[in-house]
Amino acid sequence: MISAFQTLTLLFGTTLGLSVPLLTNTAERIIGGQPSLPSAFPFAASLIIRLPGGTGFCGGTLISDTLVATAAHCVYNYSQGRPWPATTMRVGLNSNVLENQRALPVLQVYVHPAFDPREPKNDIAIVRIPSSGGVETARVFDGKLPSGTRLTAIGWGRTSAAPGSALPSALQQTAIAVGETESCAQFVPGFRGSDGPQICTENRLLPGKDTCQGDSGTGVFVEDAGKMFLAGLTSYGANLNGDPTCALDDGFAVYTHVAFYRAFIDAVVKSAAAARRRRRVARERARSTVTVLVPIMPVVAANVL
């Protein structure tokens, strides 16, 4: 299972009419779902990365006007041991249909400092974009996630476990359920419950429903008081034998528990705010440089304080 996570596999699809390889591991895994309503998940984002051999695809969730949460393995260059440059990425927003999304550049990439590419832990990253232009942002769920809790997984990943199956252009959603701690501990070493750093789901609780290749980094949500809250980010999955086939009845899936990483998110928010302040100061300084006409003297540039 861990070795499958470590192997970077490129799976080709036809999203946006292009030959798009998915930056994914063979164990990442929407199956058994249906298209989402256009207004259901306005904060859903796509993430496209230009790679030396093609284009990688993942998902994400808008958590502030300028920040998108995703999986760390989506943005990580395994061969160089560091994130891919921000200039190689773009985020798509404003539509459930990939072809209709507005593309925004990525300005900065923040990977959790404890992310270890050799292990599927601390699998969270945040990318900073220009202003989303007023797109609704997701709120993070801070409540408990006991066994049996129903979650909604979304994504543009494969809708069939069959090899070579096409990717949908419209956002899909499916229901999944938080697994029993004892069962999940057999799959995730040291697992003590889904209120920790990882959320574990069991396919046997809702057979035929699962996330699949291409859903990496996309959010899973819990409904509370009629509203959807971000609970996790798609990370990886398989069964106890290491078979990564999507939607196996005896399969498990693991999601990064977003609320557990509040400190990391807060640190990124502060860093992004500091970057905005620096840009604002730079713009103000640039505007303060004016041209002044001095009688009988050449035109000079003066700094007006």
CATH code at 185?
2.40.10.10
- How many structural domains compose the chain? 2
Residue carrying structure tokens 């302040």: 277
Q: Are residues 228 and 268 in the same domain?
A: no
Pairing of strands 67-70, 125-128: antiparallel
pLDDT, average across residues 22-28: 39
Are residue 62 and residue 164 in the same domain, yes or no? Answer: no
The answer to whether residues 179 and 158 belong to one domain is yes
- For residue 136, the model assigns a pLDDT of 97
Statement: residue 293 has pLDDT above 80: no
Do both 234 and 265 map to the same domain?
no
**Is residue 86 within 8 Å of residue 111, measured between CB atoms?**
no
pLDDT tens digits, one per residue of 35-52:
999 999 999 999 999 998
Residues 41 and 54 in one domain: yes
Q: Average pLDDT for residues 239-252, to the nearest whole number?
A: 94
Please report the beta strands in the chain, taking only residues with DSSP state E, as ranges in sequence order.
8-13, 20-25, 34-35, 44-51, 54-64, 67-70, 76-77, 82-83, 89-93, 102-105, 108-111, 125-128, 150-155, 172-177, 198-202, 219-224, 227-239, 251-257, 289-292, 300-303
Same domain as 41, residue 156: no
262 band by pLDDT with thresholds 50, 70 and 90: very high
Q: Are residues 18 and 50 in the same domain?
A: yes
Domain membership flag for residue 249: yes
Closest to 27 (Cα-Cα) out of 240, 245, 176, 194 = 245
What is the value of pTM for the model shown?
Answer: 0.84
Residue 20 lies in a domain: yes
| Boundaries of domain holding 256 | 150-260
